[in-house]
Amino acid sequence: MTHITRRHVDRSNIEQLEQLQKVDEGFTSSFLEAKFEDIELKGKKTLFILGNGFDLMHGVPSNYSDFKKFLKQESLKDPDNETIINLMHFLKYYTDVDDGWGNLEEALGNFDFFTEFNPKDLKELLLPAHRIDAGNFDEQRIGYIGAGLAKLMGFGAETIVENLSFYLRDWAQGLEIDPARKPLDKIFGQCVNCKFLCFNYTDFIETHYGILSNQVCFIHGCARAPISRGNEEMVIGFRPEKVNREPLEKLHDEVNHMHGIDYKIAKKAEEVLDKLFDHYVEKLSKHYDQNIENHKAFWGSLDDIEQIIVIGHSLAEVDWPYFKEIIHRAHDVEWYFTYYNSKSNIAKFAREMGIKRGSLICTKNP
Protein backbone atom coordinates (compact mmCIF):
# COMPACT_ATOMS: atom_id res chain seq x y z
CA MET A 1 0.00 0.00 0.00
CA THR A 2 1.26 3.47 -0.86
CA HIS A 3 1.68 5.80 2.10
CA ILE A 4 1.78 9.55 1.94
CA THR A 5 5.08 11.04 3.09
CA ARG A 6 5.88 14.53 4.27
CA ARG A 7 6.44 17.14 1.61
CA HIS A 8 10.00 17.81 0.55
CA VAL A 9 11.03 21.41 -0.18
CA ASP A 10 13.14 21.95 -3.26
CA ARG A 11 16.25 24.07 -2.64
CA SER A 12 15.48 26.24 -5.69
CA ASN A 13 12.07 27.06 -4.18
CA ILE A 14 13.76 28.19 -0.97
CA GLU A 15 16.14 30.43 -2.90
CA GLN A 16 13.24 31.89 -4.87
CA LEU A 17 11.34 32.58 -1.64
CA GLU A 18 14.37 34.29 -0.12
CA GLN A 19 14.68 36.49 -3.21
CA LEU A 20 11.02 37.48 -2.97
CA GLN A 21 11.49 38.34 0.69
CA LYS A 22 14.34 40.70 -0.21
CA VAL A 23 12.10 42.40 -2.77
CA ASP A 24 9.30 42.70 -0.21
CA GLU A 25 11.57 44.12 2.49
CA GLY A 26 12.69 46.80 0.07
CA PHE A 27 9.05 47.85 -0.25
CA THR A 28 8.93 48.96 3.39
CA SER A 29 12.29 50.74 3.39
CA SER A 30 10.44 54.06 3.61
CA PHE A 31 8.46 52.97 6.68
CA LEU A 32 9.46 54.70 9.90
CA GLU A 33 10.69 52.96 13.03
CA ALA A 34 8.54 53.95 15.99
CA LYS A 35 7.62 53.14 19.58
CA PHE A 36 4.22 52.76 21.18
CA GLU A 37 4.69 56.02 23.07
CA ASP A 38 5.02 57.81 19.71
CA ILE A 39 1.40 57.02 18.84
CA GLU A 40 -1.16 59.71 19.50
CA LEU A 41 -4.59 58.30 20.34
CA LYS A 42 -6.41 61.37 21.67
CA GLY A 43 -8.94 62.65 19.19
CA LYS A 44 -8.20 59.86 16.71
CA LYS A 45 -10.51 56.97 16.00
CA THR A 46 -8.19 53.99 16.19
CA LEU A 47 -8.51 50.31 15.30
CA PHE A 48 -6.23 47.82 17.05
CA ILE A 49 -5.83 44.46 15.31
CA LEU A 50 -4.60 41.79 17.69
CA GLY A 51 -2.98 38.49 16.74
CA ASN A 52 -1.26 35.71 18.65
CA GLY A 53 1.82 37.88 19.21
CA PHE A 54 -0.30 40.00 21.56
CA ASP A 55 -0.78 37.02 23.88
CA LEU A 56 2.85 35.98 23.51
CA MET A 57 4.16 39.40 24.57
CA HIS A 58 2.20 38.91 27.80
CA GLY A 59 3.84 35.56 28.47
CA VAL A 60 0.83 33.47 27.45
CA PRO A 61 1.90 30.07 26.00
CA SER A 62 -0.37 30.41 22.98
CA ASN A 63 1.72 29.08 20.10
CA TYR A 64 0.61 26.13 17.99
CA SER A 65 3.40 24.13 19.66
CA ASP A 66 1.77 24.87 23.03
CA PHE A 67 -1.54 23.52 21.76
CA LYS A 68 0.21 20.32 20.66
CA LYS A 69 1.77 20.02 24.13
CA PHE A 70 -1.71 20.37 25.61
CA LEU A 71 -2.97 17.51 23.44
CA LYS A 72 -0.01 15.39 24.54
CA GLN A 73 -0.72 16.10 28.21
CA GLU A 74 -4.40 15.27 27.77
CA SER A 75 -3.53 11.98 26.09
CA LEU A 76 -1.27 11.03 29.01
CA LYS A 77 -4.12 11.72 31.44
CA ASP A 78 -6.40 9.44 29.44
CA PRO A 79 -4.36 6.89 27.43
CA ASP A 80 -7.58 5.21 26.25
CA ASN A 81 -8.87 8.35 24.57
CA GLU A 82 -8.47 7.31 20.93
CA THR A 83 -10.01 10.53 19.65
CA ILE A 84 -7.26 12.76 20.99
CA ILE A 85 -4.55 10.25 20.01
CA ASN A 86 -5.85 10.16 16.44
CA LEU A 87 -6.09 13.95 16.31
CA MET A 88 -2.47 14.23 17.44
CA HIS A 89 -1.44 11.70 14.80
CA PHE A 90 -3.07 13.43 11.87
CA LEU A 91 -1.99 16.93 12.93
CA LYS A 92 1.60 15.73 13.34
CA TYR A 93 2.04 13.74 10.16
CA TYR A 94 -0.28 15.38 7.68
CA THR A 95 -0.14 19.07 8.57
CA ASP A 96 3.62 19.24 8.90
CA VAL A 97 4.13 22.91 9.83
CA ASP A 98 6.13 25.03 12.24
CA ASP A 99 4.77 27.16 15.07
CA GLY A 100 2.60 29.56 13.08
CA TRP A 101 -1.19 29.29 13.30
CA GLY A 102 -1.43 30.72 9.79
CA ASN A 103 0.82 27.92 8.56
CA LEU A 104 -1.45 25.35 10.18
CA GLU A 105 -4.51 26.87 8.52
CA GLU A 106 -2.82 26.79 5.14
CA ALA A 107 -1.82 23.17 5.75
CA LEU A 108 -5.43 22.27 6.58
CA GLY A 109 -6.39 23.53 3.12
CA ASN A 110 -3.60 21.45 1.57
CA PHE A 111 -4.44 18.43 3.73
CA ASP A 112 -4.26 15.17 1.80
CA PHE A 113 -7.86 14.13 2.24
CA PHE A 114 -7.10 10.42 2.24
CA THR A 115 -4.06 10.69 4.53
CA GLU A 116 -2.57 7.19 4.62
CA PHE A 117 -4.42 5.88 1.56
CA ASN A 118 -3.76 6.61 -2.07
CA PRO A 119 -6.77 6.40 -4.44
CA LYS A 120 -4.75 3.86 -6.43
CA ASP A 121 -5.03 1.53 -3.42
CA LEU A 122 -8.76 1.07 -4.01
CA LYS A 123 -8.51 -2.37 -5.56
CA GLU A 124 -6.22 -3.57 -2.79
CA LEU A 125 -8.66 -2.25 -0.20
CA LEU A 126 -11.49 -4.13 -1.86
CA LEU A 127 -9.77 -7.54 -1.72
CA PRO A 128 -10.94 -8.39 1.83
CA ALA A 129 -14.54 -7.71 0.78
CA HIS A 130 -14.21 -10.21 -2.07
CA ARG A 131 -12.82 -12.86 0.25
CA ILE A 132 -15.46 -12.36 2.93
CA ASP A 133 -18.54 -12.09 0.73
CA ALA A 134 -17.49 -14.48 -2.01
CA GLY A 135 -19.64 -12.78 -4.62
CA ASN A 136 -22.73 -12.22 -2.43
CA PHE A 137 -23.18 -8.54 -3.30
CA ASP A 138 -26.71 -7.20 -3.23
CA GLU A 139 -27.33 -3.44 -3.24
CA GLN A 140 -27.55 -3.25 0.55
CA ARG A 141 -24.24 -5.06 0.95
CA ILE A 142 -22.60 -2.87 -1.69
CA GLY A 143 -23.75 0.25 0.19
CA TYR A 144 -22.50 -1.13 3.50
CA ILE A 145 -19.04 -2.02 2.15
CA GLY A 146 -18.75 1.24 0.21
CA ALA A 147 -19.61 3.30 3.28
CA GLY A 148 -17.10 1.34 5.36
CA LEU A 149 -14.43 1.91 2.74
CA ALA A 150 -15.18 5.64 2.74
CA LYS A 151 -14.98 5.73 6.53
CA LEU A 152 -11.54 4.13 6.37
CA MET A 153 -10.18 6.41 3.65
CA GLY A 154 -11.61 9.63 5.09
CA PHE A 155 -10.81 8.89 8.71
CA GLY A 156 -8.08 11.51 9.04
CA ALA A 157 -10.20 14.33 7.62
CA GLU A 158 -13.18 13.32 9.75
CA THR A 159 -11.02 13.21 12.89
CA ILE A 160 -9.77 16.76 12.33
CA VAL A 161 -13.06 18.33 11.31
CA GLU A 162 -15.03 16.82 14.19
CA ASN A 163 -12.54 17.45 16.99
CA LEU A 164 -10.10 20.29 16.31
CA SER A 165 -12.41 23.16 17.27
CA PHE A 166 -13.53 21.39 20.46
CA TYR A 167 -9.99 20.88 21.73
CA LEU A 168 -8.97 24.40 20.71
CA ARG A 169 -11.69 25.78 22.96
CA ASP A 170 -10.74 23.43 25.79
CA TRP A 171 -7.09 24.51 25.52
CA ALA A 172 -7.75 28.25 25.17
CA GLN A 173 -10.09 28.27 28.18
CA GLY A 174 -7.20 27.13 30.37
CA LEU A 175 -4.66 29.74 29.24
CA GLU A 176 -3.60 32.22 31.90
CA ILE A 177 -1.88 35.59 31.87
CA ASP A 178 0.46 37.20 34.40
CA PRO A 179 -1.70 39.88 36.09
CA ALA A 180 1.37 42.06 36.71
CA ARG A 181 2.52 42.03 33.09
CA LYS A 182 0.94 44.99 31.28
CA PRO A 183 3.35 46.33 28.64
CA LEU A 184 0.54 48.15 26.80
CA ASP A 185 -1.16 49.68 29.83
CA LYS A 186 -0.10 53.21 28.94
CA ILE A 187 -1.36 53.20 25.37
CA PHE A 188 -4.59 51.31 26.13
CA GLY A 189 -5.21 53.72 28.99
CA GLN A 190 -5.68 56.45 26.36
CA CYS A 191 -8.35 54.51 24.49
CA VAL A 192 -11.57 56.44 24.09
CA ASN A 193 -12.42 56.11 20.42
CA CYS A 194 -10.74 52.74 20.00
CA LYS A 195 -11.97 49.49 18.50
CA PHE A 196 -10.28 46.09 18.80
CA LEU A 197 -10.42 43.36 16.17
CA CYS A 198 -9.11 40.28 17.98
CA PHE A 199 -8.07 37.14 16.11
CA ASN A 200 -7.24 35.30 19.34
CA TYR A 201 -9.54 32.93 21.21
CA THR A 202 -8.54 34.49 24.54
CA ASP A 203 -10.33 37.45 26.11
CA PHE A 204 -7.31 39.06 27.78
CA ILE A 205 -7.90 42.37 25.99
CA GLU A 206 -11.02 42.68 28.15
CA THR A 207 -10.08 40.91 31.39
CA HIS A 208 -6.48 42.13 31.56
CA TYR A 209 -6.85 45.69 30.29
CA GLY A 210 -10.48 46.44 31.10
CA ILE A 211 -11.50 47.18 27.52
CA LEU A 212 -15.30 47.15 27.20
CA SER A 213 -16.91 44.29 25.29
CA ASN A 214 -18.69 46.67 22.91
CA GLN A 215 -15.28 47.83 21.72
CA VAL A 216 -14.08 44.33 20.85
CA CYS A 217 -14.83 41.91 18.03
CA PHE A 218 -13.59 38.34 18.49
CA ILE A 219 -13.80 37.52 14.81
CA HIS A 220 -12.93 33.83 15.24
CA GLY A 221 -14.76 33.30 18.52
CA CYS A 222 -13.85 33.65 22.17
CA ALA A 223 -13.17 30.53 24.24
CA ARG A 224 -14.53 32.10 27.40
CA ALA A 225 -17.41 33.93 25.80
CA PRO A 226 -20.09 35.02 28.28
CA ILE A 227 -23.59 33.59 27.99
CA SER A 228 -24.75 36.83 26.38
CA ARG A 229 -22.57 36.09 23.35
CA GLY A 230 -23.89 32.58 22.90
CA ASN A 231 -21.86 29.46 22.24
CA GLU A 232 -19.33 30.84 19.76
CA GLU A 233 -17.51 28.27 17.69
CA MET A 234 -13.75 28.51 17.42
CA VAL A 235 -13.08 29.37 13.79
CA ILE A 236 -9.95 27.88 12.27
CA GLY A 237 -9.35 27.02 8.66
CA PHE A 238 -8.43 28.08 5.18
CA ARG A 239 -9.59 30.20 2.28
CA PRO A 240 -12.21 28.12 0.40
CA GLU A 241 -10.57 28.74 -2.95
CA LYS A 242 -7.27 27.40 -1.61
CA VAL A 243 -8.51 23.94 -0.66
CA ASN A 244 -6.64 20.98 -2.17
CA ARG A 245 -9.12 19.11 -4.39
CA GLU A 246 -6.51 16.97 -6.14
CA PRO A 247 -6.96 13.84 -3.95
CA LEU A 248 -10.69 13.76 -4.69
CA GLU A 249 -10.07 14.27 -8.41
CA LYS A 250 -7.64 11.35 -8.38
CA LEU A 251 -10.25 9.23 -6.64
CA HIS A 252 -12.87 10.07 -9.27
CA ASP A 253 -10.44 9.15 -12.03
CA GLU A 254 -9.56 5.85 -10.35
CA VAL A 255 -13.20 4.89 -9.83
CA ASN A 256 -14.05 5.63 -13.47
CA HIS A 257 -11.45 3.08 -14.55
CA MET A 258 -12.96 0.27 -12.46
CA HIS A 259 -15.48 -2.34 -13.59
CA GLY A 260 -18.09 -4.72 -12.27
CA ILE A 261 -18.63 -5.09 -8.55
CA ASP A 262 -15.46 -3.14 -7.76
CA TYR A 263 -16.92 -0.15 -9.60
CA LYS A 264 -20.24 -0.37 -7.72
CA ILE A 265 -18.59 -0.50 -4.30
CA ALA A 266 -16.04 2.20 -5.15
CA LYS A 267 -18.81 4.39 -6.57
CA LYS A 268 -20.71 4.17 -3.30
CA ALA A 269 -17.53 5.02 -1.38
CA GLU A 270 -16.98 7.93 -3.72
CA GLU A 271 -20.46 9.31 -2.99
CA VAL A 272 -19.85 9.15 0.76
CA LEU A 273 -16.40 10.70 0.45
CA ASP A 274 -17.76 13.54 -1.70
CA LYS A 275 -20.15 14.43 1.12
CA LEU A 276 -17.40 14.14 3.73
CA PHE A 277 -15.15 16.38 1.64
CA ASP A 278 -17.92 18.99 1.34
CA HIS A 279 -18.40 18.80 5.11
CA TYR A 280 -14.66 19.24 5.68
CA VAL A 281 -14.56 22.31 3.44
CA GLU A 282 -17.71 23.75 5.02
CA LYS A 283 -16.46 23.33 8.58
CA LEU A 284 -12.83 24.38 8.03
CA SER A 285 -13.29 27.19 5.54
CA LYS A 286 -13.17 30.72 6.86
CA HIS A 287 -16.53 32.09 5.79
CA TYR A 288 -15.35 35.68 5.73
CA ASP A 289 -18.57 37.34 4.61
CA GLN A 290 -20.60 35.44 7.20
CA ASN A 291 -18.09 36.14 9.97
CA ILE A 292 -18.24 39.84 9.15
CA GLU A 293 -22.05 39.74 8.97
CA ASN A 294 -22.14 38.10 12.41
CA HIS A 295 -20.40 41.23 13.76
CA LYS A 296 -21.94 43.78 11.40
CA ALA A 297 -22.39 46.46 14.06
CA PHE A 298 -18.66 46.38 14.82
CA TRP A 299 -17.62 46.38 11.16
CA GLY A 300 -20.06 49.18 10.39
CA SER A 301 -18.23 51.33 12.94
CA LEU A 302 -14.93 51.17 11.03
CA ASP A 303 -15.85 53.51 8.17
CA ASP A 304 -14.26 56.58 9.76
CA ILE A 305 -11.18 54.91 11.28
CA GLU A 306 -8.14 57.22 11.15
CA GLN A 307 -5.31 54.90 12.19
CA ILE A 308 -4.75 51.17 12.45
CA ILE A 309 -2.32 49.52 14.86
CA VAL A 310 -1.53 45.87 14.18
CA ILE A 311 -0.12 44.08 17.23
CA GLY A 312 1.21 40.55 16.97
CA HIS A 313 -0.64 39.47 13.84
CA SER A 314 1.37 37.39 11.38
CA LEU A 315 -0.49 38.94 8.42
CA ALA A 316 -0.84 35.46 6.94
CA GLU A 317 -2.68 35.33 3.63
CA VAL A 318 -5.50 33.29 5.13
CA ASP A 319 -6.72 36.46 6.93
CA TRP A 320 -6.21 38.90 4.06
CA PRO A 321 -9.92 39.05 3.13
CA TYR A 322 -10.62 40.67 6.51
CA PHE A 323 -7.90 43.26 5.93
CA LYS A 324 -9.19 43.99 2.43
CA GLU A 325 -12.61 44.69 3.91
CA ILE A 326 -11.03 47.05 6.46
CA ILE A 327 -9.13 48.89 3.72
CA HIS A 328 -12.32 49.10 1.67
CA ARG A 329 -14.04 50.82 4.60
CA ALA A 330 -11.12 52.92 5.88
CA HIS A 331 -9.35 54.35 2.85
CA ASP A 332 -6.70 56.81 3.94
CA VAL A 333 -5.38 55.72 7.33
CA GLU A 334 -2.08 55.68 9.14
CA TRP A 335 -0.72 52.16 9.73
CA TYR A 336 1.47 50.84 12.54
CA PHE A 337 2.84 47.28 12.47
CA THR A 338 4.64 45.45 15.26
CA TYR A 339 7.38 42.94 14.52
CA TYR A 340 9.62 40.72 16.62
CA ASN A 341 12.34 39.59 14.22
CA SER A 342 11.63 39.57 10.50
CA LYS A 343 9.71 42.32 8.73
CA SER A 344 9.20 40.32 5.53
CA ASN A 345 5.60 39.41 6.32
CA ILE A 346 4.77 43.09 6.84
CA ALA A 347 6.48 44.01 3.60
CA LYS A 348 4.65 41.37 1.59
CA PHE A 349 1.33 42.41 3.11
CA ALA A 350 1.95 46.12 2.52
CA ARG A 351 2.91 45.53 -1.10
CA GLU A 352 -0.15 43.39 -1.79
CA MET A 353 -2.49 45.84 -0.05
CA GLY A 354 -0.96 48.92 -1.63
CA ILE A 355 0.09 50.43 1.72
CA LYS A 356 2.93 52.79 0.89
CA ARG A 357 3.45 54.52 4.21
CA GLY A 358 3.45 53.33 7.78
CA SER A 359 5.48 52.79 10.93
CA LEU A 360 7.17 49.72 12.38
CA ILE A 361 7.36 48.90 16.10
CA CYS A 362 9.74 46.30 17.48
CA THR A 363 8.16 44.32 20.35
CA LYS A 364 11.25 42.53 21.64
CA ASN A 365 11.26 44.97 24.55
CA PRO A 366 7.84 46.67 24.49
Question: Does 354 or 145 have the greater pLDDT score?
Answer: 354
Is 229 a domain residue? yes
126-154 per-position pLDDT tens digit: 655 554 554 566 778 788 888 888 888 88
Q: How many domains does the structure of the chain reveal?
A: 1
pLDDT band per the 50, 70, 90 thresholds, residue 122: low
* Cβ-count burial 138-152 (b if 16+ within 10 Å, e if not): eeeebbebbbbbbee
Is 283 a domain residue? no
- The pLDDT of residue 227 is 44
Query: Model pTM?
Result: 0.86
Is 348 a domain residue? yes
Measured in degrees and rounded to the nearest 5, phi and psi for residue 199 equal: -95, -5
pLDDT band per the 50, 70, 90 thresholds, residue 6: very low
Rg (C-alpha) for the chain, rounded Å, is 24
pLDDT band per the 50, 70, 90 thresholds, residue 331: confident
Can you tell me the mean pLDDT for 272-295? 93
pLDDT band per the 50, 70, 90 thresholds, residue 224: confident
250: which residues sit within 8 A by CB, 6+ positions away? 118, 119, 120
Strands, DSSP E only, in the chain?
A: 32-34, 46-50, 194-198, 216-218, 307-311, 334-339, 359-362
Is 145 a domain residue? no
- The pLDDT of residue 213 is 92
Instruction: Determine the structural domain holding residue 311 and report its residue range.
Output: 17-60+179-234+288-366
What CATH number corresponds to the domain at position 303? 3.40.50.1220
Can you tell me the mean pLDDT for 18-31? 60
Q: Is the pLDDT of residue 266 over 80?
A: yes
Is 119 a domain residue? no
Can you tell me the mean pLDDT for 196-201? 97
Question: Does 172 or 25 have the greater pLDDT score?
Answer: 172
Is 125 a domain residue? no
Is 138 a domain residue? no
pLDDT band per the 50, 70, 90 thresholds, residue 11: low
Cα dihedral sign, 205-207-213-219 = positive
Which range, 23-32, 218-227, 345-354, has the best average confidence (pLDDT)? 345-354
Q: Is the pLDDT of residue 164 over 90?
A: yes
Q: What is the spatial distance between Cα 46 and Cα 308, in angstroms, rounded to a whole number?
A: 6
Q: Look at the chain and count its residues.
A: 366
